């Protein structure tokens, strides 16, 4: 199966397999950043109003996830981007990122923002975001300067 077989759908996080992917994402964030620098949303955070969560599945198995939080009528924040460990390096993260950007444009957002880690473990994510036109910026929303955070943005 290749990235072209990926089916992306909104996900209400009732499937235990989707919940497991979120838990793996949270564990990965805590493995690579101190607790006060982890800004990933847990399952209840991903169910908040204004947040839409998607999973991409291969053969019915959730293998990639991503979320979009609407900050206001013009701005959105990408959240919870994660590819299941066994599926890394197959272009699935790029497919989810493209989906999130299309959805943000469809909703009329003008700018998207994200916060990611700054340690070497986050280098592949940063490279993906840069290749999609994201540029470094300062903290946004309620974020503050943090040596373990990297902030990025792009216009739509």
Between the CA of residue 131 and those of 5, 35, 60, 62, 98, what are the distances in Å? Answer: 23, 28, 29, 25, 11
Q: What is the pLDDT of residues 55-66, one digit of tens each?
A: 999 999 999 999
Whether 107 has a pLDDT exceeding 90, the answer reads: yes
Query: Which residue ranges make up each domain of the chain?
Result: 3-155
State which fold the 3-155 domain adopts.
Answer: Aminopeptidase (3.40.630)
Residue 117, pLDDT above cutoff 70: yes
Q: What is the pTM of this model?
A: 0.94
Confidence category of residue 32, pLDDT binned at 50, 70, 90: confident
| 137 strand-pairing partners | 151
Query: How high is the pLDDT of residue 29?
Result: 87
Residue 137: which region, alpha, beta or left (left: phi > 0; alpha: psi -120 to 50)?
beta
Q: Does pLDDT of 1 surpass 70?
A: no
Closest C-alpha to 100, from 115, 121, 74, 81: 81
């Amino acid at each position: 199966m290749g990235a072209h077989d990926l089916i992306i759908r909104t996900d209400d996080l009732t499937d235990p397999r989707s919940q497991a992917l979120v838990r793996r994402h949270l564990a990965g964030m805590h493995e690579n950043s101190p607790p006060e620098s982890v800004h990933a949303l847990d399952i209840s955070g991903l169910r908040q109003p204004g947040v839409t969560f998607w999973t991409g599945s291969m053969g019915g198995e959730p293998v990639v996830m991503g979320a979009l939080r609407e900050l206001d009528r013009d701005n959105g924040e990408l959240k919870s981007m994660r590819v299941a460990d066994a599926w890394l390096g197959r272009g699935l993260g790029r497919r989810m990122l493209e989906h999130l950007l299309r959805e943000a444009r469809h909703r009329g957002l003008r700018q998207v923002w994200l916060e990611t880690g700054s340690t070497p473990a986050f280098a592949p994510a940063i490279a993906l975001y840069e290749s999609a036109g994201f540029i470094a910026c300062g903290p946004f929303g309620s974020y503050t300067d943090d040596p373990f955070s990297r902030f990025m943005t792009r216009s739509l």
